[in-house]
Amino acid sequence: QSALTQPASVSGSPGQSITISCTGTSSDVGSYNYVSWYQQHPGKAPKLMIYEVSNRPSGVSNRFSGSKSGNTASLTISGLQAEDEADYYCSSYISSSTLYVFGTGTKVTVL
Amino acid sequence: EVHLEESGGGLVQPGGSLRLSCAASGFTFTTYSMNWVRQAPGKGLEWLSYISSGSSDIYYADSVKGRFTISRDNAKKSLYLQMSSLRAEDTAVYYCTRDEMRYYMDVWGKGTTVTVSS
């Protein structure tokens, strides 16, 4: 199972909005509404930011939102802040036995 | 507070074995499935293995199938990963994660580092 495709890097100025794409296939992203997004600061563990395409866990800022169209999921960060600078990974459910595939990861830089 | 803490990482020679542990606290461990995920230096995340709450369902990524064994002790609120026939490419930070319905991982430990080198 190949990793989901994400842009290597995305940047934006404080206050702007950015969108990170996550492209899979009809066997993963396109088949299930089970896309999740994780934020990882350097040297830290990943943190769940979005689950089931567009749901935010308690405590996650509403500046983070998720969506999906066809085989591509997206994470949008609005009102970009310095603390949002981190790596972001998408993930999708694949099947009852393989379970998870992660994206290649995107480094977000706040200019 | 919900918490996962991994331990057992270290330096091991190629072909060697290592057992990782993950201690859970702050939630009812017996009702949750769990996973192991790793991250090689400078690389992305890789899902390795899943175990259901009662250990009846166990799955592995192809990259570790036959070499790694996941297990759990609900009485001790602990998750384990027995790793054997280790290779240089198994060098990574290993995270244990709490699973939600097999659809996402909502709690992550801080990770433990495994280095496979002679």
Q: Give the Cα separation of A68 and A54 in Å (integer).
A: 8
DSSP type of residue A35: E
Token digits for A102?
Answer: 């992660």
A12–chain B nearest CA distance, Å = 22
Mutating which of B45, B58, B107 best tests the A interface, going by the most A Cβ atoms within 10 A? B45
pLDDT range class, residue A1, cuts 50, 70, 90: confident
pLDDT tens sequence across A79-103:
999 999 999 999 999 887 788 999 9
A37–chain B nearest CA distance, Å = 9
With 90 as the cut, is the pLDDT of residue B109 above it? yes
Token digits for B42?
Answer: 């400078």
| Whole-angstrom Cα Rg for chain A | 13
Q: Give the Cα separation of A27 and A2 in Å (integer).
A: 11
Q: Give the Cα separation of B87 and B69 in Å (integer).
A: 15
Spatial neighbors of A84 by CB under 8 A, at least 6 apart, are A39, A63, A77, A108, A110
Place of tokens 């570790």: B64
With 80 as the cut, is the pLDDT of residue B58 above it? yes
pLDDT range class, residue B100, cuts 50, 70, 90: confident
Task: Tell me if B56 sits within 8 A of B74, measured CB to CB.
Answer: no
Chain A interface includes B46 (CB < 8 A): yes
Strand partners of residue A47: A39
**pLDDT value of residue A99:** 86
Q: Give the Cα separation of A44 and B93 in Å (integer).
A: 11
pLDDT tens sequence across B21-40:
999 999 999 999 999 999 99
**pLDDT value of residue B101:** 84
Chain A interface includes B47 (CB < 8 A): yes
Task: Tell me if B16 sits within 8 A of B34, measured CB to CB.
Answer: no
Nearest to A104 by CA among A18, A20, A11, A13: A20
Q: Is B31 helix (H, G, I), strand (E, B) or coil?
A: helix
Residues B47-70, mean pLDDT to the nearest whole number? 96
pLDDT tens sequence across B64-88:
999 999 999 999 999 999 999 999 9
B95–chain A nearest CA distance, Å = 8
**Mean per-residue pLDDT of chain A:** 95
Place of tokens 């842009």: A7
Of all residues in chain A, the one with the smallest CA distance to B45 is A102
- The CB density around residue B103, as the number of other CB atoms within 10 Å, is 19
Token digits for A72?
Answer: 């591509």
- With a CB-CB cutoff of 8 Å, which residues 43-62 of chain A face chain B? 44-48, 51-52, 57
With 80 as the cut, is the pLDDT of residue B117 above it? yes
**pLDDT value of residue A66:** 98
